[in-house]
Amino acid sequence: MKFISRFSRNTLDCLKYVRELKELGIGVTFEKENIDSLDAKGEVLLTILSSLAQDESRSISENATWGIRKKFERGEIRVNTTKFVGYDKWEDGNLVINPQQAKIVRQIFRDLETPESIARSLKEEGVPGWNGKANWYPTTIQRMLQNEKYMGDALLQKTYTVDFLTKKRSENQGQVNQYYLGDLYLNINSTTYLPFYSCSDCRRTFDFNPVMEDLNRRIK
């Protein structure tokens, strides 16, 4: 093994695995630290150095988290559009309306039905979702109806990392600051839009009024 940190950044896990291998007569040699786990002094050195590796991992995680939160404070966001029906991400990072998917989103928001009923209707009509398949579930509809991004806004830091070692994330219920940013991009359910539009064919940004009139006709 080249480094201890490559073996494990968790001190307890590192010692646990080394001991289990040792019981099987298998030694682990760490080249950089010059440690042989079968050696009498190996476990003592391993405990010290693996603790340092764990602390380094914690420091890296904290620095990365600090950087992300600073971006949130500045209003910089990154939205994953892979499963985000109704929008595409432009090469400059901005979100733009997908005219075909916008029809689906508007239908969902305008149907005065339960999520169960809406999901059933979309399935029966064979309406494709983000993956091109008509797989609609009540929970999917519920999340869409509660998603502030369909108003053109964004709530940042809905979840946070609980443990830097396991990367476990939990819902943020006030443990860390949240940031609500409004009017970031086009509200898919409104006829009032921001004064720009990115063309999906030529990838240019246009002055908005005449373009928006055409877009409204296409997605109504």
pLDDT by residue (tens digit) across 128-149?
988 888 899 999 999 999 888 8
Residues 69 and 105 in one domain: no
pLDDT value at residue 5: 67
In this predicted structure, what is the pLDDT of residue 185?
67
**Nearest 5°: phi and psi at 169?**
-115, 150
Pick from 194, 117, 113, 183: nearest CA to 148: 183
Kindly tell me if the per-residue pLDDT of 173 is higher than 60. Answer: yes
Proportion of the chain above pLDDT 70, given as a percent:
81
Highest mean pLDDT among 7-21, 99-113, 117-131: 117-131
* Residue 80 belongs to some domain of the structure: no
Examine the pLDDT at 178 and tell me if it is beyond 70: yes
Query: Averaging pLDDT over each range in 46-55, 75-84, 94-103, which range is the top one?
Result: 94-103
Q: Which residues contact 212 (CB under 8 A, 6 or more apart)?
A: 193, 197
CA nearest neighbour of 182 among 149, 145, 143: 149
pLDDT band at 11 (very low <50, low <70, confident <90, very high): confident
Report the predicted TM-score, pTM, of the whole model to 2 decimal places: 0.57
| Average pLDDT of every residue of the chain | 77
Helix (H), strand (E) at residue 159: strand 159-163
- Residues in CB range of 50: below 8 A, 6 or more apart: 4, 8, 10, 11, 14, 15
Answer yes or no: is pLDDT of 30 > 90.
no
Spell out the alpha helix ranges (H) of the chain: 4-7, 11-23, 42-73, 99-110, 115-125, 138-145, 208-219
Do 138 and 185 belong together in one domain? yes
Q: Report which of 159, 105, 113, 158 is spatially closest to residue 138, judged by C-alpha positions.
A: 113
Tokens linked to 122: 């979309």
Domain span at residue 55?
Answer: 4-73
Closest to 95 in 3D by CA, of 177, 187, 190, 202? 187
Residue 186's pLDDT is 64
Residues with Cβ within 8 Å of 164's Cβ and at least 6 positions away in sequence, in order, are 57, 58, 61, 62
Angstrom distance (rounded) from CA 22 to CA 28: 8
Is a pLDDT exceeding 50 seen at residue 54?
A: yes
In a domain, 153, yes or no: yes
pLDDT surpasses 50 at 171: yes
Question: Given pLDDT bands bounded at 50, 70 and 90, which one contains residue 199?
Answer: very low
At residue 121 the predicted structure's pLDDT band, cuts being 50, 70 and 90, is very high
| Domain count across the chain | 2
Q: Quick one: 99 and 166 in the same domain?
A: yes
Of 4-13, 30-39, 52-61, minimum mean pLDDT range = 4-13
- Phi then psi for residue 127, to 5 deg, are -75, 125
65 lies in the same domain as 171:
no
**Residue whose C-alpha is closest to residue 183's, from 54, 94, 71, 84:** 94
Q: Does one domain contain both 25 and 53?
A: yes
What average pLDDT does range 17-45 have in this prediction? 82
Give the count of alpha carbons within 13 A of 164, CB side only: 16
Highest mean pLDDT out of 91-100, 114-123, 177-186: 114-123
What is the amino acid identity at position 122? L
The total number of residues shown for the chain amounts to 220
Domain assignment present for residue 172? The answer is yes
**Residue 163, pLDDT above cutoff 60:** yes
Residue 215 lies in a domain: yes
d(CA 96, CA 218): 14
